Every structure is written in structure tokens, then in C-alpha cells.
A and B are shown apart, each in its own frame.
Chain A
Amino acid sequence: MTELAIATRDLTRRFGSQTAVDRVSLAVPRGSVFGFLGPNGSGKTTTIRMLLGLIEPTAGESSVLGESMPDSWRSVLPRVGALVEGPAFYPFLSGTANLRRLDAADRDSDRRTRLARVSDALARVGLSHAENKPVKAYSLGMKQRLGLANAMLRPRDLLVLDEPTNGLDPQGTREVRSLIRSFAADGTTVFVSSHLLAEVEQLCTHAAVMSAGAIVAQGTLDELRGPDATTVVVLTPDRALAHDVLLKAGLTPDPATPVDGVRAHLDRSRGGADDLVAALVAAGVRVRGFSLEEPSLEDRFVALTGEGFDVVA
């Protein structure tokens, strides 16, 4: 259990008759950057709230940093930095005053180093110039950064970041991603939820996909892409012949075949694609073009979660 930063078993939360989170079993390895993907409303935030002790699970268990939650909140939460469902601050207080208050709320935080830590965190997210402005004068992107600064007020073993790039402009998004990478490089486990596939593909080592309250896939990114999903595309006028050759070579022809060629799925466990062209030519197929299509996570996730998934990067 200790090598997992987050481990849940059959975590379930019902609100009335609606099951928001349905038997979720997560395994987030220590040191990983774990992407938590799913469409809006799939139960990601409810799961995160349960992990942080904000919502009691209806059933199931969860452990964070090796200790049971929510029972061990007092020793677990100081080691966890969190951004939950967008930033929230006292609009009439400055960025500095907001962070000082949230740091004071943590009874284990050291008052003597508070000002220095607040100032460091603000500098790290590039808000030093606005530290004395009231938060109501901040843009959404600045609030998002302030939320990240709050998550890094102390050295953390785990960061739980719910949609950390929401509302950020492209530069801000890049900065947040590089911040996340720098945390990971320090050995902090980062659990980041997103509905943006490109983000997860760029940032994460592992991911879980949630759909309608349940985990539909989980693992390293390579595992998620699937081993057998490479597609071979042959451009040829001799479609029937090519179809037979590919079938004989152990591929699964795709019924959705283009007019000027053949598509087929390659099972890597039954050999590579290296000899296919030679086999096609030997059988007398006039090959005009040959290409391999690696699956993208996006194809995989749309397949897992269905259409309507917000995939705009």
C-alpha cells in the first residue's frame, strides 16, 4: 500500500438515488503524474472531494499517502496540496493576505516562516507583482495561479489538482504544465484531473478514465493506448487481393475500408508490420502506399467514454 500515493477500493458515493461515483478503485503510484480524465459531470470532482475528506463516501475505502481517509485527515492533509473545482478566495483580501489566512488554517504550519513561504509561492506562480492587490481585481488566470500557490505553501508529498489549467491563456497553461513537471521532478506525486486529453498526453505518466461515475480504464499511458491498436493502411487498386493477403498475415481487416485501399488492425503479438509490404508485393498486389496509424489517446478515450466528450485542447 505504501508505494501508492492514492489507493481506493470500491469508493462509492450516492446522492439520493443518483450514484455520482460508482465503485472506483484507483491506484496512483508514488512519484507518478497521474491524469484523471473524464467528461464534465463524470464524477471526478466528487472522487477528489472524497479523497480530501470533504465528502464522506457512501461505501468503499480510500487511503492517501498510506493512511486511511477521511480518518487520518489530520496527518494526511498537511502533506497534500489541493486545488479543488477552481480557486476560491476572499475577494476583499490581497493575494498575500489570502494565502496567509489559508496557511494559518493549517495548525501545523510554522508561523515564523509563513511570510517567506507565502512570498516564495507567489513568486513561483508569477504573482509577485500583484501580491498586494485585492483578489477581486485578479483575472481568472491569476486566481488560478493563486490557487496553485496555495497548494504549494509547504513542501507536499502529493498535489491534487482539479482542472489546474482551466481559464488560463496559452502561456499560463504552458507555465502551469512546466510547474507540474517541476513538482514531479522533485518527487511529488501529482494527481491532476482534466477533461483535456492533450494535456494528459503531454503531462502524465499514468491515467485513469472515468465515465458516468465509474473507472473505465486505468494504467500507464502506453497501457491505455492499447497494444493491439495499430492500424495498417494499404493504398492499392487490388483491394480484394490485398484483403486476402492481410487476413492471411493475421490482421483484422476493417470493414470501414477506403475506396482506394484496405485498412486492417495489426495485432502486435502476432508479428510486426515489417514483412507486410514484401508479402503484398509477392502476391502481386500493386502497392501505391503503405502506412501505419498509431492510435491516439483521444481515439481510445472517445471509444471508452462515448461521444460528447469534450476533447477540444
Chain B
Amino acid sequence: MSSREQSIPPTTRRVSFDLLASEIAVLFRRRRTIAMLVAIALIPILLAVAVALSSQQLAPGEGPPFLDRVSQNGLFVGFTAMLVGIPLFLPLTVGVVAGDTIAGEAGQGTLRYLLTAPAGRMRLLLVKFAGAVAWALAATLTLMLTGLIIGSVLFSIGPVTLLSGDVISLGESLVRMGLVALYVSVSLIGLSAVGLFISTLTDVPVGAMAATVVVSIVSQILGTIPQLSWMHPYLLTHYWLDFADILRNPIEWSSFGSNAILQLAYVGIFGALAYGRFASKSIVS
């Protein structure tokens, strides 16, 4: 027996990213995740195809913002698709991923095996949150890249005329597209943290997913009520549509900064709530 004990290395404090790698691999191997990426890619594709098939010229300002410019410059497909996707579809997918984090493992019964492995509760939460952030990045990049590809296939692409009237080169435009994707990803991490917290409250993943989506919708509704304007700056969704500031020259960074600070505050608050809940949670699933 003693030889057996000696064969087990003493507990080390080394940092291991194996669980994170596993989490991301499992996330992106799921058919559900692939289906959501396909659905996200369909947003710019449908939009571009609709514009390409339609002979009707939109007056400037008609339809979603930027839509009137799509036929002149394919690069606008991505921006328009992002505006279409941010209010509902992207938060819906974030709700699915973030709501599933803990509740999904609990409902499936794998949570008890992860914790007895032992994964460690703090570490598991961090890995799950990192997975949700990876999803937000993958979702926005998929949307942007598909927009770029379909836009360049169906329309001509070239230097972009910004909201400020300046014209930027194609290369600079691609950088701006990346920045918009990043802006929207950052916009979604607060919601990811909310979803993570909700996910620690239940063993029913669908409930956590739905609740997370409801949070984003309620937040957007509150944001439209002028009588509640005092709370608007603190709403999770307050800066969601302000990524257009990336399309000014020079770039208007203040909304990016305010958004990042707001999202980090949500991450801090709901991350702490999630840990407080999860650290002492009885795992009976």
C-alpha cells in the first residue's frame, strides 16, 4: 500500500489549462454550438441575398442602419448584420451557452464527476466563464467574417465612407470590422456573467438559458423608457448599439471604454454572486 501511495505525486500548485482546453473543445464540438454558428452566419447571408435580389433602391435611412449602403459596398453587410443581431439573436445564443454552463453539467450529472475529479469549484467557474467569453468572440467573428465573405462575393468592396464623412482604406476598414466584433463581444460578457450566475441557481439548463435571455430583453425594454433614464447608464445593454462609434474618424473610444467598464462591473458583481452561490452549493444532481 505504501508503494501505491508513493506512486501518486504530491499535490502541486501548478496552473493547468487542460480543463479550459477541454471546455472549449467540448463547447465547439457540440452540434448545438455548430447549429448556432450556422444560424449566426445566416444573418449576413440572408441580408446580403435579400439586398442583391431586390431591385428596389432604399432611400438613405430606410430599413436597418447601413442597409442602404450595402449594395454600394459589401463591407457594410457585416456592420448591418451586427446591428440586426445584437438586440435579440446574439444575446439568445449567449443565453444558451452561459445558461448551460453549470446547470447543463448539473442536469446531465457530470457536475459531480467534475467536482470529484477534482476540478475545484472556483476553477470550474472560471473555466466556464472563459468558455462563454470564447463563445461571444466566436459568434461575433463568425458574423463579421461571413458578412465580409458574402459582401465581397455579391457586391463590390472598397474604401468605406464613415459616418463622419471620412473615407478609410480597405485595410483600415477590415481593422474597424475586427474592432466592431470586439466591441460586441465585450458587450456580451456582462450578460455571460449574468447567465453564469443564473446557471448556478438551477439544475435545469433550459430555465437558466431562458432567464438569461429574459434579462437581456428586460434590460433593453427598460432602456427605452424615458422615465427611467436615471438607470439607463447602468443597464447591461446601454451601450450595445453604440459600436457605430467605431465607424467614426477618429474613432470615438469613449463608448468603447464606458461599455468595457460597465461590462466588467457586471462581470465582477455577477461573478462574485456566482461564486458565492456555487462555492457552498449542495451538489445533489
Residues of chain A at the chain B interface (Cβ within 8 Å): 30-31, 49, 52-56, 73-75, 77-80, 82, 84-93, 100-111, 150, 154-155, 157, 186-188
Contacts and interface: CB of A to CB of B under 8 A. Distances in A.
B8 A106 contact: no
B110 A89 contact: yes
B269 interface: no
A55 B284 contact: yes
A88 B112 contact: yes
Given A73-B118, A84-B116, A187-B1, A155 B29 contact: no
B19 interface: yes
A200 to B, nearest CB: 23
A48 B88 CA distance: 44
12 contacts: A49-B112, A53-B115, A54-B282, A54-B283, A79-B5, A84-B113, A88-B109, A93-B26, A106-B119, A110-B9, A111-B18, A150-B113
Contact of A86 (B1, B18, B109, B280): B109
A132 B58 CA distance: 54
Contacts of A90: 26, 108, 110
Nearest to A111: B18
B31 A92 contact: yes
B59 to A, nearest CB: 49
Given A93-B29, A101-B26, A54 B115 contact: yes
Contacts of A105: 19, 22, 113-114, 117-119, 124
Given A88-B109, A93-B29, A104-B22, A186 B4 contact: yes
B254 interface: no
Contact of A78 (B11, B16, B282): B11
Contact of B30 (A92, A109, A186): A92
Contacts of B1: 30-31, 157, 187
Contact of B283 (A31, A49, A75): A49
B123 interface: yes
B165 to A, nearest CB: 51
Nearest to B106: A88
B282 A56 contact: yes
Contact of A100 (B5, B22, B109): B22
B120 interface: yes
Nearest to B21: A104
Give the size range of B's interface with the partner.
35 or more
B55 interface: no
Contact of B19 (A82, A86, A104, A110): A104
Question: 7 tightest A-B contacts by CB?
Answer: A88-B109, A187-B1, A105-B117, A77-B118, A104-B18, A105-B119, A54-B283
Interface of B: 1, 4-5, 7-9, 11-12, 14, 16, 18-19, 21-22, 26, 29-31, 108-110, 112-120, 123-124, 280, 282-284
A69 B124 CA distance: 19
Contact of B11 (A31, A75, A89, A92): A75
Nearest to A80: B116
A197 to B, nearest CB: 27
Contacts of A54: 112, 115-116, 282-284
Nearest to A107: B16
Contact of B116 (A82, A100, A103): A82
Contacts of B18: 104, 107, 109, 111
B273 to A, nearest CB: 19
Most chain B CB inside 10 Å of its own CB: which residue of A79, A88, A157:
A88
Contacts of B7: 155
A88 B284 contact: no
Contacts of A84: 112-113, 116
B32 to A, nearest CB: 9
Nearest to B11: A75
B120 A74 contact: yes
A56 B280 contact: yes
A74 B112 contact: no
Nearest to A100: B22
B114 to A, nearest CB: 5
B129 to A, nearest CB: 16
Contact of A88 (B5, B108, B117, B119): B108
Contacts of B123: 107
Contacts of B112: 49, 52, 54, 84-85, 88
A178 B136 CA distance: 49
A55 B117 contact: no
Given A88-B108, A88-B109, A108-B11, 17 more contacts: A52-B112, A53-B116, A55-B284, A74-B11, A79-B8, A82-B113, A82-B116, A85-B109, A88-B112, A90-B108, A92-B31, A104-B18, A105-B117, A105-B124, A108-B12, A111-B18, A155-B7
Contact of A102 (B14, B117, B280): B117
A78 B110 contact: no
A276 B120 CA distance: 64
Contacts of A93: 26, 29
Nearest to A81: B116
A107 B14 contact: yes
Contacts of B284: 49, 54-55
A279 to B, nearest CB: 50
A157 B108 CA distance: 28
